[in-house]
Amino acid sequence: MKFGAISLYVNDMETMVNFYKYVMGLNINWDGSGFTAVEMEGQIHHFILCKREIFENSIPEVSNWNKGINGNMEICFDVPKYSDVDIEFERVIKAGAKPVYKPTTESFGMRVCYVADPEGNLIEICSGNDDTNY
């Protein structure tokens, strides 16, 4: 097997498509339906947004959704340099992401921060490239 996709089941497709397209910078061509797949470069082939009610109708056993910040998983975006973590954190907060954890250089050497999308899914922005003296 090889890894194929990450899916988020969402309540408000338009809000979430706009967030991932305009705030996080993904190339999304959404047709207005309850589903969209974004082709990705690298190991992960697709990032998928699917309206929760569509998923619940196809698999009704799965309907216990997290409320607030979803700490069960995260989406991680790598940036080239430590300083880019701070720049991207400020940019996405100003664009509408919810701040969760400010940019910090961790004891294991990476610079990381966390924000949440409009429905509370965790997004990590990180870099392992120490380009400055934080």
Specify the pLDDT at position 71.
Answer: 78
Instruction: Give the separation between CA 132 and CA 125, rounded to whole angstroms.
Output: 17
Position 81 pLDDT exceeds 60: yes
State whether 38 and 83 are in the same domain. Answer: no
Q: Work out how many domains the chain is built from and give that number.
A: 2
Is residue 133 in a domain? no
The domain containing residue 106 runs over which residues?
70-127
User: pLDDT digits over 39-75, tens only?
Assistant: 887 777 788 888 888 888 877 777 677 788 887 788 9
Query: Who contacts 116 (Cβ-Cβ below 8 Å, separation ≥6)?
Result: 69, 70, 97, 98, 100, 122, 123
CATH of the domain at 29: 3.30.720
Mark whether 17 and 39 lie in a shared domain. Answer: yes
Q: Which residue has the tokens 């979430």?
A: 16
**pLDDT confidence of residue 55:** 82
Looking at the structure, tell me whether residues 83 and 121 fall in a common domain.
yes
Query: Is 112 part of any domain?
Result: yes
CB-based contacts of 83, cutoff 8 Å, min separation 6: 131, 132
Do residue 23 and residue 46 come from a single domain?
Answer: yes
Q: What is the pLDDT of residue 132?
A: 55
Q: Say which CATH number the domain at 107 has.
A: 3.10.180.10
Residues 94 and 49 in one domain: no
- The band of 2, judged by pLDDT with boundaries at 50, 70 and 90, is confident
